[in-house]
Amino acid sequence: MAIAPMTLVEKAAEFLPLEELRRVPSKTRGIYILLKQHSHKRYEVVYVGMVCGPYAGIRGRLRSHRRKKMGRWTHFSVFKVWDNISEQAVRELEGIVRHVFRKDPRVNPLAVQRGFKPLQRLARDREWLLRPAGPRERRSKKYG
């Protein structure tokens, strides 16, 4: 049996034009990103979203965004999670992506959130950074 290349994401499709929306299978769960193309290889992140429930799907969410955010995005990327990935894990993935983008001035305001609370709580606890490195961690520094 082959080992999956990624633990959370089963399939990915990036930089698809809006016209390809109908190719996304119904009830696809995961993360999606709305993009606006500015040149051949330059895209602006417009929005980051997720679908994690068993009855919704990314295709339906993209159709909804097409109506509400028409003209603001031209392309999209989809990252389908494995069927055994929990709703909480999908929420965490989206939260991390949006948390990283929140301070980037180049990101469209639609894609920004104030922060991802669970990640903010973890980031406040920095004591683990202050512990002396163990023997295994000291050895690995030559490769970092």
What is the pLDDT confidence band of residue 144, given thresholds at 50, 70 and 90? very low
**Strand, helix or coil for residue 33:** strand
Cα maximum dimension of the chain: 57
Domain boundaries, the chain: 9-143
Confidence at residue 28, expressed as pLDDT on a 0 to 100 scale: 94
Q: Kindly give the residue spans of alpha helices, DSSP state H, lying in 30-116.
A: 58-68, 87-101
Give the mean pLDDT of 6-12: 89
Residue-wise pLDDT for 69-115, tens only, equals 778 899 999 999 999 999 999 988 888 887 777 777 666 665 555 66
Its pTM stands at 0.74
C-beta of residue 57 within 8 angstroms of C-beta of residue 28: yes
Residue-wise pLDDT for 13-28, tens only, equals 999 999 999 999 999 9
Per the prediction, the chain carries an average pLDDT of 80
Neighbours of 140 (CB within 10 A): 10
pLDDT at 141 over 70: no
Higher-confidence residue of 54 and 138: namely: 54
Distance, in Å, from the CA atom of 49 to the CA atom of 55, rounded to the nearest integer, reads 16
